[in-house]
A and B are shown apart, each in its own frame.
Chain A
Amino acid sequence: QVQLQESGPGLVKPSDTLSLTCAVSDYSISSSNWWGWIRQPPGKGLEWIGSIYYSGSIYYNPSLKSRVTMSVDTSKNQFSLKLSSVTAVDTAVYYCARTGDSSGYYFDYWGQGTLVTVSS
């Protein structure tokens, strides 16, 4: 059973960089799956942020691309998200997830999510 666990600060100041890590357990991050970040503002819908393959290939949501950086650490079996110049609109529950196959177009395992609040 694949397990994903998000970690990182729950409070970030405006204009700072949001940094989150997703630790993957009981499954190799170097397998033929993509790994993604999805966020959900309080009371709102899901927004795909980006997806990364263990080799380093990356796709970003065009609306966030200028502020997003994703990376993968195969030695630690984890991947990370950085979102720069955050504002209140970036307040959301951030989920990490695994895609079901090498196509990368659906997520079959999700972390529990972590709430990140942007406030001074």
Chain B
Amino acid sequence: QSALTQPASVSGSPGQSITISCTGTSSDVGSYNYVSWYQQHPGKAPKLMIYDVTNRPSGVSNRFSGSKSGNTASLTISGLQAEDEADYYCSSYTSSSPLVFGGGTKLTVL
């Protein structure tokens, strides 16, 4: 069971938009609309930000959006704020597991 591939780090300035990618295969991201995204601040539990590729839970800012193209899912954060600085993880259903996480991406707000 291989983890989904995410960039180790991304950065952006306040007010900008950034996108974090999550690359899988036709056995997971490419074939199922069960991609979710989590935000994790240091020492805290992960927080669900996006589920089923594009859905935002109640209470999550609309600055966060999700999408998918082929085997790659993406999380976009618009109007970047200092509080968005955190680690972000994607997760997907996979036909062999059924759940797998990405390796995580550290977002730095410059």
Contacts and interface: CB of A to CB of B under 8 A. Distances in A.
Interface of A: 36, 38, 45-48, 51, 59, 61-63, 95, 100, 103-108, 110-113
A112 B46 CA distance: 9
Contacts of A45: 3, 89, 101-104
A112 B45 contact: yes
B10 interface: no
Contacts of A108: 48, 51, 57
B82 interface: no
Task: Give the interface SS of chain A, mostly helix, strand, loop or mixed.
Answer: loop
Interface residues of B, number: 25
Contacts of B46: 38, 46, 95, 107, 110
B72 interface: no
Given A46-B104, A105-B36, A61 B51 contact: no
29 contacts: A36-B99, A38-B46, A38-B101, A45-B3, A46-B46, A46-B104, A48-B91, A48-B97, A51-B99, A59-B99, A61-B97, A62-B1, A62-B96, A95-B45, A95-B46, A100-B51, A103-B34, A104-B99, A105-B51, A105-B52, A105-B91, A106-B34, A106-B36, A106-B48, A107-B48, A108-B57, A110-B46, A111-B45, A112-B45
A100 B51 CA distance: 9
A110 B104 contact: no
Given A105-B34, A106-B91, A100 B48 contact: yes
